[in-house]
Amino acid sequence: MKVLLVGSGGREHAIAWKLSQSKQLKQLYIAPGNPGTAEVGINVDIADTNLDGLVSFAKDKRIDLVVVGPEDPLAAGLVNRLESEGILAFGPTQEAARLEADKAFAKHIMRANSIPTAEARIFTHYEDAKMYIASRDEPVVVKAAGLAKGKGVFVCDDPADGILAAEKIMVNKIFGDAGSTIVVEDKLLGQEASILAFVDGRTIYVMESAQDHKPIGEQDTGPNTGGMGAYSPAPIVTDALMDQIIREILVPLVDGMNRNETPYKGVLYAGLMITPGGPRVLEFNARFGDPETQPILMRMKSDLLEVIEAVCRGRLSEVTVEWDPRPAVCVVMASKGYPDAYEKGKVITGLEAAARLKDVKIFHAGTAKRDGQIVTAGGRVLGVTAMGQTIADAKKRAYEAVSLIHFEGAYYRRDIADKALR
């Protein structure tokens, strides 16, 4: 098969790396890709938001399958455009991708289908939101309803901070139109878990569990990011808990989307809080998570291309997926200043030495090639991922690899996977 993968981040490097192992693959193109994806396929200089360019390329090259990585082209309707041209596409339609692109829509779907989540109110006017938050005594979570690259969530223990967050989002427009509507939720207490599943509209195949680390600082302090590291599996997700998640969250969601006439196909990501009262949905994402994809795909033994094609053709029930029982840990190396302003163009050294370590894979995220050297080009630069016999072993190996990689201002959390060890 000739495959076009859309995207340029660490998630896309991991997907490209896994797709490249398939015996069914004839040619892999990545648009726009990064220096890491260039090692396993052919990068194409088309932005992931250039829908016209992507559709034209797929038609010109007679692409058999397009895999859409990031949320922006999904929300913009790339899958709809490709399917209208008769091209097989992996990912939800624009209507179904609203699960991620519109948190207010997601709340309506959850309420309509009795899916456990935090109590919430939705606001389109700042003054209304301000009055509501001011009336609260308990901590609140303020979210931009639209897409904000994982940074649109403010956890506010003091409601006064919640008012400031609402002002930043709705008045100062720090996320642009994505903040025209906000969701104000009760703060949930517990441990987070990420559950990713392949869905073909009817059949659900749950992948191995993972846990992300959203805040920039150790011990989960500071502002939220796109994710500073992840590990798989997450010990907090027992077999019994996974059964409950499937029964109370995933099945009602897929059924509800069908009743809503927005059938879901692709990867469904449920970001959960495991509370004393059971699992609660924090958010749904309409694609592979980043950085959860890196450790999850490191552990996947089966042919990813075969699974993706089965999803697209509605034949997911016909495939089985095998997993390596060994855990994997991913540590994100970020640019100094991330998630706020950061500098680019810092030369990265030590990549080859780190990649030579056993059971280690360096996934590129925000990198570029300049004058023959790999340099930083984004906030999250690399996802250093390692497998081990235990989570402690995988963590040790990941940080050993991190210690070999250097660039000016490199920042990373040193406590990734500590929750699992506790």
Per-residue pLDDT of 99-128, as tens digits, reads 999 999 999 999 999 999 999 999 999 999
- Cis (ω within 30 of 0) for the bond into 339? yes
Q: Is 53 exposed, middle or buried (0-12, 13-18, 19+ CB in 10 A)?
A: middle
Catalogue the long-range contacts made by 317-320 (C-beta closer than 8 Å, 24 or more residues apart): 317/200, 317/202, 317/203, 319/205
Residues 160, 365: Cα–Cα separation, whole Å:
36
User: Is residue 234 a contact partner of residue 211, using CB atoms and an 8 Å limit?
Assistant: yes
**What order do you get walking across the sheet with 27-32 strand by strand?**
42-43, 27-32, 2-7, 65-68, 88-90
3-class DSSP string for the chain: CEEEEEECCHHHHHHHHHHCCCCCCCEEEEEECCCCHHHCCEECCCCCCCHHHHHHHHHHCCCCEEEECCHHHHHCCHHHHHHHCCCEEECCCCCCCHHHHCHHHHHHHHHHCCCCECCEEEECCHHHHHHHHHCCCCCEEEEECCCCCCCCEEEECCHHHHHHHHHHHHCCCCCHHHHCCEEEEECCCCEEEEEEEEEECCCEEECCCEEECCEEECCCEEEECCCCEEEECCCCCCHHHHHHHHHHHHHHHHHHHHHCCCCCEEEEEEEEEEECCEEEEEEEECCCCCCCHHHHHHHECCCHHHHHHHHHCCCHHHCCCCECCCCEEEEEEECCCCCCCCCCCCECECHHHHHCCCCEEEEECCEEEECCEEEECCCEEEEEEEECCCHHHHHHHHHHHHHHCECCCCECCCCCCHHHHC
What local confidence, expressed as pLDDT, does residue 150 receive?
78
What local confidence, expressed as pLDDT, does residue 53 receive?
98
Phi-psi region of 202 (alpha: psi -120 to 50; beta: other; left: phi over 0): alpha
What local confidence, expressed as pLDDT, does residue 146 receive?
94
Residues of the chain with pLDDT under 50: none
CA torsion 403→406→411→413, rounded to 10°?
-20
Residues 386, 298: Cα–Cα separation, whole Å:
8
What local confidence, expressed as pLDDT, does residue 94 receive?
98
What local confidence, expressed as pLDDT, does residue 185 receive?
96
Which candidate, 58, 45, 57, places its Cα nearest to that of 368?
Answer: 45
Listed in sequence order, the residues at least 6 apart from 199 whose beta carbon sits closer than 8 Å to its beta carbon are 205, 254, 264, 265, 266, 267, 268, 311, 316
Residues 295, 329: Cα–Cα separation, whole Å:
6
